[in-house]
Amino acid sequence: MSDAKNFFLRPATEGEFEIVADLSARTFVSAYRTLVPEEALADFVASAFSLEKTREEMSDPRNDFLLAFEGRKPVGYAMLREADPPFGVSGESPVELARIYLEEGVIGKGYGSALLTACLDSAIQSGHDILWLGVWEKNERAIRFYERTGFNRVGSLPFEFGDELHTDLLMARVTQ
């Protein structure tokens, strides 16, 4: 369980793009370092989580970022993105949970559930009826987490990583 005295969430500001870029890179590498080739991982991180790319994403009004803290230390984040959903995702107003990552050392403390709950609350407040995401089919820990928290598989999409084509499972859940 989380320690309520030390853990809190808040929206990220555009000026915190360096914090978000750093968290993005570190948590992504931690999640996938044993599952994908090192060179492909490094190339992806350098492109997807650069300061410029993160600043651009955080200044886009269709994206919302939440930061998770343990004390003063940022330990995780989530990104909600308003975008057209892929085939298989239904609802009047779906929103994508584009990213949700935690530092490895805090996984299992309930922070992931708290971060997901905050994303659901944000989606509801913004009028979204469906929260959807894509998760790599080999990321079994994440898939189990999403299934435990009410997500169902609704399809799949190809995802190019390095020189290989992978499959992301599409998962969705009603926000209320």
Q: Which domain holds residue 53?
A: 7-174
- Helix or strand (DSSP H, E) at 32: helix 17-32
pLDDT in tens, 156-165: 999 888 788 9
| pTM recorded for the entire structure | 0.92
Residue 84 maps to a domain: yes
- Helix or strand (DSSP H, E) at 51: helix 51-59
Residue 43 maps to a domain: yes
Residue 158 maps to a domain: yes
pLDDT in tens, 119-149: 999 999 999 999 999 999 999 989 999 999 9
- Are 160 and 109 spatial neighbours (Cβ–Cβ below 8 Å)? no
Task: Give the number of other Cβ atoms within 10 Å of residue 174's Cβ.
Answer: 12
At residue 1, the pLDDT reads: 43
How many domains does the chain fold into? 1
At residue 161, the pLDDT reads: 82
Residue 2 maps to a domain: no
- Three-class secondary structure of residue 6 per DSSP: coil
At residue 4, the pLDDT reads: 52
Average pLDDT of span 3-18: 87
CATH number at 100 reads: 3.40.630.30
Residue 1 maps to a domain: no
Tell me how far apart the alpha carbons of residues 62 and 172 are, in angstroms, rounded to a whole number. 19
Terminal-to-terminal C-alpha distance of the chain: 23
pLDDT in tens, 54-101: 999 999 999 999 999 999 999 999 999 999 999 999 999 999 999 999
Tell me which DSSP letter residue 4 carries.
T
